[in-house]
């Protein structure tokens, strides 16, 4: 689960990290009131669960309550990467002399947390990572954590001033506590700003919680907002289907996680791009198939839907019935490619044939047909 910046900052504040005071508004009037209570210059920031808000016009400075009102109006009308902005954080603004980058991320390959830091933080950090990755320092952390001297030695090359090195080290140790105690897979501060007076402040906060640890954090539930989820993700969660949206255009409906991975591999192998990982699981009632199709078609990027079913406990006829049922309720706007094999496949083929649908038994064939269809739509 990803936290909003204002939520992540609450978590940071609990761990003693330096964040500036602020509150969330849902209307321009509320933003004006918050700005009045904060005084000084404020910064207004769109609370949507995507990066690059700054570049999308979702971060604005305002001097005084009236400016805050207008900035909030502009931001609350925005859509950032398809997500309408419903909440805006109004926080005391800082003056910035330098912007650093600091994060701790779970490095699954190394099976260790990884600290990353850079003197070139701010909105261009992705560009820095791409063009000059050597400007981002990386250091694995043992699960025992960091010693203060280790934290200081990481920052010494970046910060000339001894007081700033101490502040930064303290921030890293506290960020480590957030990461470890909070069961995070990511805890990021970008920018970690240095003010003209030489104070370090976390001006942005990004936290991803490890959903596998939810059982030991009762409070996480308070952070979950169904309106933050895409319609597809919400439906999948409600129906207990495991769904991960990806960036491609081939929607995949598969039974079993292993087959889902193999399907995505094969799609990639033949030059296609999967739009998702969707596992309808073992015993698939027709209803599950209908839900799966709803989830997949909620992604406007999907150009073709590929069913890849290996019938075991899952019965091919159930899947076929689900497909037919779903098409009766709402016809598909994109082509469908079906691959079925295993339990009751003959019956399944009969059910499909009655509706003028056909299915292949070969996974290779199915995947290639889906890719060809996706490309046809382009042409």
Residues of each annotated binding site for ATP: 45, 52-54, 94, 99
Closest CB 45 distance from ligand GDP, rounded Å: 5
Closest CB 59 distance from ligand GDP, rounded Å: 4
Please confirm, yes or no, whether 69 is among the known catalytic residues. Answer: no
Please tell me which residue in 6, 101, 120, 243 is annotated as part of the active site: 101
Q: How would you class 378 by CB atoms within 10 Å of its CB: exposed for 0-12, middle for 13-18, buried for 19 or more?
A: exposed
- Please tell me whether residue 299 binds Mn ion under the rule CB under 5 A: no
Which amino acids are annotated as binding site for Mg(2+), given as ranges? Answer: 190, 204
Contact partners, residue 258, CB within 8 Å, separation at least 6: none
Contact partners, residue 2, CB within 8 Å, separation at least 6: 49, 206, 207, 208, 209
Contact (Cβ atoms closer than 8 angstroms) between residue 353 and residue 317 = no
Residues 198-227 that bind Mn ion (CB under 5 A): 204
Total H helices, total E strands in the chain: 13, 17
Which of the choices Mn ion, ligand GDP, none does residue 203 contact, using the CB cut-off of 5 to 8 A by kind?
A: ligand GDP
- For ligand GDP, give the closer residue by CB, 85 or 203: 203
Contact (Cβ atoms closer than 8 angstroms) between residue 254 and residue 244 = no
- In the bound state, the residue with its beta carbon closest to Mn ion is 204
Please tell me which residue in 6, 188, 243, 345 is annotated as part of the active site: 188
Closest CB 330 distance from ligand GDP, rounded Å: 37
- For ligand GDP, give the closer residue by CB, 88 or 94: 94
- Please tell me whether residue 99 binds Mn ion under the rule CB under 5 A: no
Contact partners, residue 20, CB within 8 Å, separation at least 6: 91, 92, 93, 94, 201, 203
Please confirm, yes or no, whether 6 is among the known catalytic residues. Answer: no
Closest CB 190 distance from Mn ion, rounded Å: 4
Closest CB 97 distance from ligand GDP, rounded Å: 10
Q: Tokens at residue 354, please?
A: 């009655």
- Please tell me whether residue 190 binds Mn ion under the rule CB under 5 A: yes
How do the residues of the chain divide into helix, strand and coil, expressed in percent and rounded to 5?
40, 25, 35
Helices (H), the chain: 5-14, 28-38, 64-76, 125-131, 148-155, 162-181, 220-223, 231-239, 257-269, 286-297, 316-329, 345-354, 363-378
Q: Tokens at residue 160, please?
A: 């000339």
- For ligand GDP, give the closer residue by CB, 28 or 191: 191
The 131-170 site mask, x for binding Mn ion (CB under 5 A), equals ----------------------------------------
- For Mn ion, give the closer residue by CB, 204 or 299: 204
Q: Count Cα neighbours of 248 within 13 Å in the Cβ-side half-sphere.
A: 22
Which of the choices Mn ion, ligand GDP, none does residue 275 contact, using the CB cut-off of 5 to 8 A by kind?
A: none
Residues at the interface with ligand GDP (CB under 6 A): 43, 45, 51-54, 59, 61, 93-94, 96, 99, 122-123, 190-191, 203-204
User: Which among 160, 53, 52 has a CA at the least distance from the CA of 44?
Assistant: 53
Q: Tokens at residue 150, please?
A: 């280790």
- For ligand GDP, give the closer residue by CB, 43 or 305: 43
Chain contacts with Mn ion (rule: CB under 5 A): 190, 204
Residues involved in catalysis: 101, 188
């Amino acid at each position: 689960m990803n936290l909003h910046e204002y939520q992540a900052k609450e978590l940071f504040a609990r761990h003693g990290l330096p964040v500036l005071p602020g509150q969330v508004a849902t209307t321009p009037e509320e933003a004006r009131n918050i700005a009045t209570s904060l005084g000084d210059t404020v910064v207004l920031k769109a609370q949507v669960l995507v990066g690059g808000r700054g570049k999308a016009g979702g971060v604005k400075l305002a001097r005084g309550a009236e400016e805050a009102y207008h900035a909030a109006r502009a931001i609350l009308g925005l859509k950032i990467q398809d997500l309408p902005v419903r909440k805006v954080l109004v926080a005391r603004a800082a003056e910035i002399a330098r912007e650093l980058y600091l994060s701790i991320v779970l490095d699954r390959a190394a099976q260790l947390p990884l600290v990353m830091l850079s003197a070139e933080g701010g909105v261009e950090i992705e560009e820095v990572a791409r063009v000059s990755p050597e400007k981002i320092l990386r250091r694995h952390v043992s699960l025992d954590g960091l010693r203060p001297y280790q934290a200081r030695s990481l920052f010494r090359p970046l910060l000339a001033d001894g007081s700033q090195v101490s502040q930064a080290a303290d921030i890293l140790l506290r960020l480590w506590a957030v990461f470890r105690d909070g069961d995070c897979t990511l805890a990021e501060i970008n920018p970690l700003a240095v003010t003209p007076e030489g104070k370090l402040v976390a001006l942005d906060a990004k936290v991803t919680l490890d959903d596998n640890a939810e059982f030991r954090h009762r409070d996480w539930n308070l952070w979950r907002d169904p309106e933050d989820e895409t319609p597809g993700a919400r439906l999948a969660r409600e129906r207990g289907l495991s769904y991960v949206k990806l960036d491609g255009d081939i929607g995949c409906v598969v039974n079993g996680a292993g087959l889902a991975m193999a399907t995505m591999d094969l799609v990639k192998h033949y030059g296609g791009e999967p739009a998702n990982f969707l596992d309808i699981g073992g015993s698939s009632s027709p209803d599950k198939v209908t839900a799966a199709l709803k989830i997949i078609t909620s992604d406007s990027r999907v150009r073709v839907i590929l069913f890849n079913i290996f019938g075991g406990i899952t019965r091919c006829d159930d899947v076929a019935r689900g497909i037919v049922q779903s098409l009766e309720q709402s016809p598909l706007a994109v082509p469908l490619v079906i691959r079925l094999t295993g339990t009751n496949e003959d019956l399944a083929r009969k059910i499909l044939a009655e509706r003028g649908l056909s299915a292949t038994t070969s996974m290779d064939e199915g995947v290639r047909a889906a890719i060809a269809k996706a490309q046809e739509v382009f042409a």
